Amino acid sequence: MKITAITPFILHVPVTGSMIQDSTHTISHWGVVGAQIDTDTGLSGFGFTGTHAHLASDQLITRCIESCHAPLLIGEDARDIRRLWHKLARNPALQWVGRAGITTLAHAAIDIALWDLKGKAAQLPLWKLLGGQVRDKVRAYNTDIGWLSIPDEQLVAGAARAVEDGFTGIKIKVGSSVERDARRLAMVRDAIGPDVTLAIDGNGKWDLPTCLRFCRLAEASNVYWFEEPLWYDDVKGHAQLARQSNIPVALGEQLYTPDAFAEFFAQQAIHWAQPDVTRMAGLTDVLQVCDTAHSFRVPVAPHAGDMSQMHVHLAYAHPAVAVLEYIPWIKDCFTEPSEVVAGHFRLPQEPGAGTTPTAAAWARFRQPAH
Ligand code: 0YR
Ligand code: MG
């Protein structure tokens, strides 16, 4: 299965309600920035990374795919996923200038497209290729009801509606002010009752004293995890918080390498790991993190940079994954949307990684790749 062409693409897809905010970002669209890999078998694979849809930086990713990674891949056997992963990780054009960041996001798109091809060639959904179903159901938690930009009453109503719709987990954003966020958290807990898991996400905004002050107020609300309480790379800060609060600590959506995760595991700084195939160098890298997490008995809750199109396969196939994030912004762009029914993700059936865009999405959301 020889690679004959690699074509980058960019889609900008609107978020729910035209705008959302967390503690650090205001966004109107999700960027689906990726690569189509064609082969001499006639099969094409698709892979993508997730961005905040800034065309200028999205075009740096597509440029990196096309100018730096693609020349190393044309003519190669698409089935050699791990060998090609290492070839790109040692790309002479990139290793000196970009061991993380845009180069990694570009690598992610390619690695995922290769997994998609492998599934299509075998006529199997990715979860089957990864070793089969290790669980009957994958529990979903809803993040899309919990943005900081949602006013209090709407937040409470949205949380209650999500529970009525069958969700047994939700997540709300924090990181505005300790008092406001603690009040909103208590209101939501009140509205959803004691049986629904309720996580919070600070997106790296606060410092340790602020987090400790917040945690004291939040402990009464039975918080499932506190995600990115501190700056993403701060291992010792998270280790301290993990020791000083009763609320479990989660992070990983901003980590690029297995080495970064290894440090958090080794320092016992996190209770939950949240790797993302669109942030790390693809599924190949995330599988390694999931295996390590499993050895440390740390549960994995993959972050929704892919809006769970690929992670749903991982979640069905890897024993470390405990729960999966649900944000519905881009699902209808794909031939098999990642759907939640009665609070659980449907088991994908189509061959591949769930990354094939529909013609309609292509026509509607495509942006210039250069
Ligand atoms: C919006 N999920 C997250 C979005 C989301 C971010 O900035 O990118 O909130 O990825 O933290 O857990
Ligand atoms: Mg997050």
pLDDT tens string 92-129: 999 999 999 999 999 999 999 999 999 999 999 999 99
By the 8 A CB rule, do 221 and 198 touch?
yes
How much distance in Å is there from the Cα of 172 to the middle of ligand 2?
A: 10
- Ion ligand 2 contact residues with beta carbon within 5 A: 201, 227
Q: Which atom of ligand 1 is nearest to the CA of 173?
A: 9
pLDDT tens string 33-74: 999 999 999 999 999 999 999 999 999 999 999 999 999 999
Domain with CATH 3.30.390.10 in the chain: 3-124+359-367
Strand ranges in the chain using DSSP code E only, listed in sequence order: 3-14, 20-21, 26-27, 29-39, 44-51, 138-142, 169-173, 197-201, 223-227, 249-251, 272-273, 324-326, 340-341, 344-345, 366-367
Measured distance CA(314)–CA(306) in Å, rounded: 12
Q: What pLDDT was estimated at residue 233? A: 97
Measured distance CA(356)–CA(309) in Å, rounded: 10
Q: Which CATH class is domain 3-124+359-367?
A: alpha beta
**21, 28, 52, 203: residue to mutate for ligand 1 pocket, most atoms within 8 A of CB:** 203
Query: Any idea which residues carry the catalytic annotation?
Result: 173, 303
DSSP 34-90: EEEEEETTS-EEEEEEEE---HHHHHHHHHIIIIIIGGGTTTSBTT-HHHHHHHHHT
Minimum CA distance residue for ligand 1 atom 12: 303
Region 319-341 average pLDDT? 98
Q: Which atom of ligand 1 is nearest to the CA of 325?
A: 12
Q: What is the CA radius of gyration of the chain?
A: 20
Q: What pLDDT was estimated at residue 94? A: 97
Q: What pLDDT was estimated at residue 35? A: 98
Report residue 182's pLDDT band, with 50, 70 and 90 as the boundaries.
very high
pLDDT tens string 246-281: 999 999 999 999 999 999 999 999 999 999 999 999
How much distance in Å is there from the Cα of 2 to the middle of ligand 1?
A: 37
CA dihedral angle for residue 173, residue 176, residue 180, residue 183, rounded to 10 degrees: 20
How much distance in Å is there from the Cα of 114 to the middle of ligand 1?
A: 26
How much distance in Å is there from the Cα of 370 to the middle of ligand 2?
A: 29
SS3 316: helix
Which tokens go with 288?
């390694």
Measured distance CA(85)–CA(73) in Å, rounded: 10
> Does 203 sit in the ligand 1 pocket, CB within 6 Å?
yes
| CA of 141, nearest ligand number | 1
Q: Which atom of ligand 1 is nearest to the CA of 303?
A: 12
Q: Is 243 exposed, middle or buried (0-12, 13-18, 19+ CB in 10 A)?
A: exposed
Q: What pLDDT was estimated at residue 184? A: 98
Q: Which atom of ligand 1 is nearest to the CA of 171?
A: 12
Q: What pLDDT was estimated at residue 197? A: 98
Report residue 155's pLDDT band, with 50, 70 and 90 as the boundaries.
very high
Region 296-313 average pLDDT? 98
How much distance in Å is there from the Cα of 306 to the middle of ligand 1?
A: 11
Minimum CA distance residue for ligand 1 atom 9: 22
By the 8 A CB rule, do 160 and 129 touch?
no
Q: What pLDDT was estimated at residue 291? A: 98
By the 8 A CB rule, do 139 and 343 touch?
yes
**253, 255, 324, 326: residue to mutate for ligand 1 pocket, most atoms within 8 A of CB:** 253
pLDDT tens string 207-237: 999 999 999 999 999 999 999 999 999 999 9
Q: Global pTM?
A: 0.98
Q: What pLDDT was estimated at residue 241? A: 98
How much distance in Å is there from the Cα of 121 to the middle of ligand 1?
A: 33
Q: What pLDDT was estimated at residue 345? A: 98
Q: What pLDDT was estimated at residue 60? A: 98
> Does 236 sit in the ligand 1 pocket, CB within 6 Å?
no
Q: Which residue(s) pair with 2 in the sheet? A: 77
Q: What pLDDT was estimated at residue 69? A: 98
Which residues, including other chains, have CB under 8 Å from residue 206's CB and lie 6 or more apart?
23, 175, 214, 229, 230
Measured distance CA(98)–CA(91) in Å, rounded: 10
Measured distance CA(354)–CA(47) in Å, rounded: 9
Rounded (10°) angle between helices 81-89 and 102-122: 170
Q: Which residue(s) pair with 33 in the sheet? A: 10, 49
CATH topology of domain 128-345: TIM Barrel (3.20.20)
Q: What pLDDT was estimated at residue 45? A: 98
Q: Which atom of ligand 1 is nearest to the CA of 227?
A: 12
As a whole number, the mean pLDDT across the chain is: 98
Region 5-12 average pLDDT? 98
Report residue 83's pLDDT band, with 50, 70 and 90 as the boundaries.
very high
* Token pair 């290894």 in the structure block, residue: 262
SS3 197: strand
